[in-house]
Amino acid sequence: MSVTPDTQPSPSGERHVICMKWGTKYGPDYVNRLYAMVRRHLRGDFRFVCLTDDASGIRSEVQCLPIPALDLPAGIPERGWTKLATFSADLHGLRGTALFLDVDVVITGSLDEFFTQPGEFLIIHDYKRPWRITGNSSVYRFQLGAHPDVLSYFRSHFEEVRQRFRNEQAYLSDVLHRQGKLSYWPAAWCPSFKYHCIPRWPTNYWQAPFVPEGAKVVIFHGECNPPDALAGRRNRRFRFIRPATWVAEHWREG
């Protein structure tokens, strides 16, 4: 299936949920499950958009649009730079508020407050090094077209940015922090499966992973994705994981 842009602009007050899928790491089932979770947990109207290089197998409720070209050098390590395309001055004519979600998150609670939480740009605060300003870009909210300088500077100073910042979320957090626009979600909303859901050793051998109180979107980073969490892991002594059966309740297409 080809990916074609929708040329009709959207109303300025519209709510969008945006995800990205490129390459072969994630199949269309991730997008389809993400849409289903959003539909169950977000009241009212919204537009669900997937920026992708391949719309094959993605459900009809999802609007598939091309990823704006970044023209990155061939063969460079994947550091999430492609996400910066969401900050295009004109992203296929879309207008309004956008909530970006990684395709591998698991939504366990209401998303309503993600659109009402005060702040110009909101992102998850870094779990491992909370003394740093860096955010985790698995979940961020912004006004479409409001931060074109983020992308334009990246395009014109790519080698400089690449030398200074390890990945897109470090660069993005630095730029918006210096502009006084960076805010963070309440800490309980977006826990890390890796850091917050797996019981500490040795209790992880007899206690299953859990959903922390107040969690709305569980983030998966590192080598463990939702299907891995659901299956559990037995091949690493200190990172043994019993099956997280609650993943099946939330991470489904229906």
pTM of structure: 0.93
Q: Tens digit of pLDDT for each residue in 166-210?
A: 999 999 999 999 999 999 999 999 999 999 999 999 999 999 999
Residue boundaries of the structural domains of the chain: 15-105+121-184
Contact, 189 vs 214, CB < 8 A? yes
For residue 242, the one-letter residue type is R
d(Cα 93, Cα 206) in Å, to the nearest integer?
A: 51
The topology (CATH level 3) of 15-105+121-184 is Spore Coat Polysaccharide Biosynthesis Protein SpsA; Chain A (3.90.550)
Q: What are 73-120's pLDDT values in tens digits?
A: 777 777 789 999 999 999 999 999 999 999 999 999 999 999 999 999
Find, among 198, 195, 201, the residue nearest to 232 by Cα. Answer: 198
Helix axes 168-178, 148-156, angle to 10 degrees: 120
Alpha carbons within 13 angstroms on the beta-carbon side of residue 63 total 16
Please say whether the beta carbons of 208 and 243 come within 8 A.
yes
Q: How does the average pLDDT of the chain come out, rounded?
A: 92
Residue with tokens 């649009």: 65
Residues 6 or more apart from 115 whose CB is under 8 A from it? 15, 97, 99, 141
